[in-house]
Amino acid sequence: MAEKITRSDAEWRQRLDAETYRVTRQAGTERPFSHPGFPKGPGHYVCACCGARLFDGDQKFESFCGWPSFSRAGGAIAEHEDRSHGMIRTEVTCEGCDAHLGHVFPDGPPPTGLRYCINGVALRFVPEAG
């Protein structure tokens, strides 16, 4: 279980760049295709806010939806029903700090059938050592 991180809004605003703050702390969405060279390969992805491990590199797949996509959660992910914007979706947040990450949709590849559609600015890639 990840340790819970709580910071004031002002603290997050200070620690994060403007776009990361907008997406992760205000449930924003980055523009699609804003990460043409999004890192992938051996390694894992951590929360841009608190560093909790969220996804493994081998769970990333190319969905062509414009956002980094993963077939399963690899770590401290929480899921909530999201009824904003007139839709019923499942919001995905970081369990460690409640950062908004993106949404999960039931149209991913087997065997999970899930597509975690995640804002790239919410993630940092940690390459496998060695």
Residues known to be catalytic: 117
Taking the least distance from each CB to Zn ion, the nearer of 3 and 107 is 3
Q: Look at residues 20, 73, 77, 80 and name the one whose alpha carbon lies nearest to residue 49.
A: 20
Q: For the purposes of burial, counting CB atoms within 10 Å of the CB of 102, is it exposed (0-12), middle (13-18) or buried (19 or more)? A: buried
Q: Per-residue x/- marks for Zn ion, 80-99, CB under 5 A?
A: --------------x-xx-x
Q: How many residues bind Zn ion (CB under 5 A)?
A: 8
* Residue 52 within binding range of Zn ion, rule CB under 5 A: yes
Q: Which of 16, 23, 46, 49 binds Zn ion (CB under 5 A)?
A: 49
Q: Cα separation of 11 and 18, whole Å? A: 13
Q: Cα separation of 56 and 58, whole Å? A: 6
Chain residues that interact with Zn ion, rule: CB under 5 A: 47, 49-50, 52, 94, 96-97, 99
